Amino acid sequence: MDINQIKNKFKTLFGDNYSVYASPGRINLIGEHTDYNGGFVFPGAIDKSVVACIHLNGTNTVRAYSIDKENLREFRIDQEDLEGEQHWSKYIFGVCREIQKRGYTIGGFDTVFAGDVPIGAGMSSSAALESTYAFALNDLFHLGIDKFELARIGQMTEHNYVGVKCGIMDQFASLFGKKGHLMRLNCATMEFEYFPFDPKGYKLVLLDTIVKHELASSAYNKRRESCENACAHIAKRHPEVKYLSDASMAMLEEVKNEIPEEDYMRAKYVIGEKQRVLDVCDALGKGDYATVGERMYGTHYGMSKEYEVSCDELDFLNDLAKQCGVTGSRVMGGGFGGCTINLVKEGLYDKFIATAKEQFSKKFGYEPKVYDVVISDGARRID
């Protein structure tokens, strides 16, 4: 991404005074759909970000320009709602509103932004955008909000202005990312730990099906409702269970006949996924990448057959990875499209990518996009 392009556009529209901020997208090695169920996730920030030039303009108006959309939007800082259709500006608007809801005072600003986090690929481009502005406004207005609350501000922007009842993992990873480290986050307690991640002899690569998922669709929220229903039934027998991830498989079996089969399958996936995250953490500590890979394949099976958020293109890439001897592969992100994340031995990398492009193109008529990712730092001021 050309930061100079962002700076030059800002100078053209608003002048020479600005500060530059960036927040990255993220990968999640394992632990999918567990965050809103109070479980563990294992993300890391990546070397693809949203970058913004920002200057406080002394008014009550925000003027925001998206280079990627070639579009300028304005809104007042005291507006309670954003008129018009669904739009990228709702993310910036939502962050401003959520900051003010918490009793902080902010003013208007001018901004130009762009990003190289692929949209719809499961790398959380929306969280990168929210985190950029939450971090920047906190810094520029000297608000003193801690990073956990900044993450919640991004999460509530999704809930209240976008319509996605997401967990907190994406915003957390974007804000807390640390180069060369993954993070295990307990989404119930918000306790987290950094784990060094520099797998010698392996590469992390994402294969993008270019199938776009709409997480605001009823399918995502419906799965959350299934999990909450299963948890409520378990909690009647076991009051100590606050989140579905607190439950054991034995507890789920007790209520199997009380809940719909669909809810049972969703819950089975979530409870199994919690254990897979813990298994991967243990395996990484031992340098046991074979077990890491096995658990990744286990997650894909669960997301495809139990949580049912995969699709033909993702399942095809996962099967192909297995056939090519890739150590680990799974759908990454919310599902319904997007990427597979693959842990590949360097010696297999070139052949795997070539085979994936050829075979995927033969079946679906186009090649998947390929993104090599490097684990990088989180939200920051960069000028």
Give the pLDDT confidence score for residue 213 in this predicted structure.
58
Q: Residue 84: what pLDDT?
A: 65
Q: How close are the terminal C-alpha atoms of the chain, in Å?
A: 16
- Of 166, 72, 144, 61, the residue nearest 107 (C-alpha): 61
If you average pLDDT over residues 163-176, what whole number do you get? 90
Dist. CA 346–CA 287, nearest whole Å: 16
Task: Find how far residue 376's CA is from the centre of its chain.
Answer: 15
Of 124 and 10, more confident: 10
Provide the pLDDT for residue 216.
43
- Counting residues of the chain whose pLDDT is more than 70, the rounded percentage is 97
- 322 and 355, same domain (yes or no): yes
Distances (CA, A) of 383 to 112, 115, 123, 173, 380: 15, 17, 25, 22, 9
Backbone torsion region of residue 293, taken as left when φ is above 0, otherwise alpha when ψ lies between -120 and 50, otherwise beta: alpha
Query: Is the model's pTM score more than 0.85?
Result: yes
* Residues 48, 145 within the same domain: yes
Residues 185 and 268 in one domain: no
Structure tokens at 354: 């070539």
- In three-state secondary structure terms, 375 is strand
Structure tokens at 72: 């300028």
pLDDT, average across residues 171-188: 94
Find the range with the poorest average confidence among 142-156, 188-202, 270-284, 318-332.
188-202
Domain containing residue 264: CATH number: 3.30.70.890
Q: Judge whether residue 40 has pLDDT over 50.
A: yes
Question: Both 175 and 295 in a single domain?
Answer: no
**127 and 220 share one domain:** no
Encode pLDDT of 318-347 as tens digits.
Answer: 999 999 999 999 998 878 888 999 999 999
Please report, for the domain that includes residue 119, its CATH number. 3.30.230.10
Which residues span the domain enclosing 13? 3-197+376-381
* Whether 242 and 324 share a structural domain: yes
Same domain for 149 and 224, yes or no, is no
Q: Are residues 234 and 173 both part of a single domain? A: no
Same domain, residue pair 12 and 134? yes
- Is 10 or 336 the better-scoring residue by pLDDT? 10
Strands, sheet with 192-196, edge to edge from the N-terminal-most edge strand: 40-41, 181-186, 192-196
Say yes or no to pLDDT of 1 above 90.
no
Domain count, the chain: 2
Identify the pLDDT of residue 124. Answer: 86
Does residue 217 contact residue 382 with C-beta atoms inside 8 Å? Answer: no
Could you tell me if 242 and 150 lie in one domain?
no
Residue 246 appears among annotated catalytic residues: no
3-state secondary structure of 156: helix
Kindly name the residue from 35, 170, 246, 377 that is annotated as catalytic: 170
Claim to verify: residue 286 and residue 317 sit in the same structural domain: yes
Question: Closest Cα partner for 52 from 89, 80, 87?
Answer: 89
223 and 191 part of one domain: no
